[in-house]
């Protein structure tokens, strides 16, 4: 299921020629990789006396297990058995082993496979936020534990759970998804300025921006910037005083992943900002 509503995609009403600033991109432990929303709708085949009343999310790093638990009750308010859906990080995707009207297990190797599996659960909407679609979840160290937490329900921007973070000392790489996916423009926008600072040891740290589209998984990535060397002091990577200023007014296709890779260095802080402008094709 293609993601539709990540915060960094939102541009809002107003002047299409206005500059939107998004950010900051920070350390892995500050950048949520998933966004979840829950709608308690009936599942086909369920008894008329049953209803789903809530959902929770949990991730256990050591076991690589991501769990969604759906609580149920009858119309008298008596609790029924929970439905428990578990996705385990593995070398390859394995579909759900049972009908999703009951508890089930599955496996996923990447975060987009996790998203797709969870989106098969009726009433659950999951989007990949600040991570490339091909990010591996087959690791018992790279993702932080998520204590069981309620998944909000509703339709407003506040009724979402943003969760699943990297571990600073393990991943040493931060991601941010950026884009203005206007349907009529096929996701085209202009990067006006990209700048940032980072702290710690930056001798082997690199900065990249590349296209990451749900429909183009497995294809060769389109890079806007690739392996630009980081500096600790503030640096403009795209803009008037950068060494890649030719890209400043070029159209790019979103959504983009901005990646700060610490390499063998240890980054202790980072703060990157992005200025975007809508790009109408044919204008």
Predicted confidence (pLDDT) per residue in 133-165, tens digit: 999 999 888 899 999 999 998 766 678 999 999
Enter the DSSP assignment of 110. Answer: B
| CATH code of residue 180 | 2.60.120
Could you say which of 149, 165, 181 is where a domain stops? Answer: 165
Task: Identify the three-state secondary structure at position 30.
Answer: helix
Domain boundary among 165, 192, 216: 165
d(CA 37, CA 112): 16
Whether residue 185 is contained in a domain is answered as: yes
The boundaries of the domain holding residue 97 are 34-165
**156 and 45 co-located in one domain:** yes
Backbone angles phi, psi at 137, to 5 degrees: -110, 10
Residue 266 lies in a domain: yes
SS3 state of residue 247: helix
Same-domain status, 122 and 224: no
Number of domains in the chain: 2
**Boundary-marking domain end, from 123, 150, 165:** 165
pTM recorded for the entire structure: 0.86
Considering the domain architecture, whether residues 207 and 267 belong to the same structural domain is answered as yes
Q: How far apart are CA 245 and CA 38, in angstroms?
A: 43
155 and 181 together in one domain: no
Residues 139, 77, single domain; the answer is: yes
In a domain, 2, yes or no: no
Kindly provide the residue ranges of all beta strands, DSSP E only, lying in 132-279, ordered along the sequence. 146-150, 161-163, 173-178, 188-200, 206-211, 223-229, 235-238, 251-253, 256-261, 267-278
233-268 residue pLDDT tens: 888 888 765 554 444 456 777 788 999 988 777 888
80's CB contacts (< 8 A; 6+ apart) are 50, 72, 73, 74
Shared domain for 150 and 201, answered yes or no, is no
User: How far is residue 262's CA from residue 92's CA, in Å, rounded to a whole number?
Assistant: 27
User: How confident is the model over 53-69, as pLDDT tens digits?
Assistant: 899 999 999 999 999 99
Residue 58, judged by CB atoms within 10 A of its CB (0-12, 13-18, 19+), counts as middle
For 26, 34, 38, 165, the CA distances from 161, given in Å and listed in that order, are 19, 8, 9, 12
Residues 6+ apart with CB under 8 A from 49: 74, 75
178 and 159 in a single domain? The answer is no
> H-helix or E-strand containing 118?
helix 111-119
pLDDT confidence bin for 183, thresholds 50/70/90:
very low
């Amino acid at each position: 299921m293609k993601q539709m509503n990540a915060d960094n995609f939102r541009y809002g009403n107003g002047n299409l020629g206005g500059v939107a600033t998004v950010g900051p991109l920070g350390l892995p432990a500050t950048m949520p990789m998933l966004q979840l929303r829950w709608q308690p709708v009936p599942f086909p085949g369920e008894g008329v006396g049953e209803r789903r009343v809530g959902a929770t999310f949990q991730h256990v790093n050591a076991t690589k297990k991501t769990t969604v638990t759906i609580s149920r009750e009858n119309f008298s308010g008596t609790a029924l058995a929970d439905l428990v859906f578990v996705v385990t990080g593995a070398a390859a995707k394995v579909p759900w082993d049972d009908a999703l009207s009951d508890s089930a297990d599955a496996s996923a190797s990447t975060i987009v496979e996790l998203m797709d599996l969870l989106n098969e659960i009726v009433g659950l909407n999951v989007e990949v936020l600040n991570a490339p679609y091909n990010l591996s979840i087959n690791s018992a160290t790279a993702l932080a534990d998520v204590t069981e937490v309620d998944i909000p329900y509703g339709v407003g921007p506040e009724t979402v759970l943003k969760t699943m973070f990297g571990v600073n000392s393990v991943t040493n790489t931060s991601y941010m998804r950026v884009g203005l996916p206007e349907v009529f423009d096929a996701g085209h926008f202009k990067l006006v300025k990209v700048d940032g600072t980072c702290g710690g040891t930056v001798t082997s740290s690199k900065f990249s921006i590349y296209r990451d589209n749900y429909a183009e998984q497995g294809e060769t990535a389109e890079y806007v910037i690739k392996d630009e060397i980081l500096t600790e002091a503030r640096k403009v990577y795209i803009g008037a005083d950068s060494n890649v200023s030719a890209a400043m007014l070029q159209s790019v296709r979103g959504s983009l992943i901005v990646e700060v890779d610490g390499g063998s260095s240890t980054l202790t802080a980072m703060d990157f900002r992005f200025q975007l402008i809508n790009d109408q094709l044919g204008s």
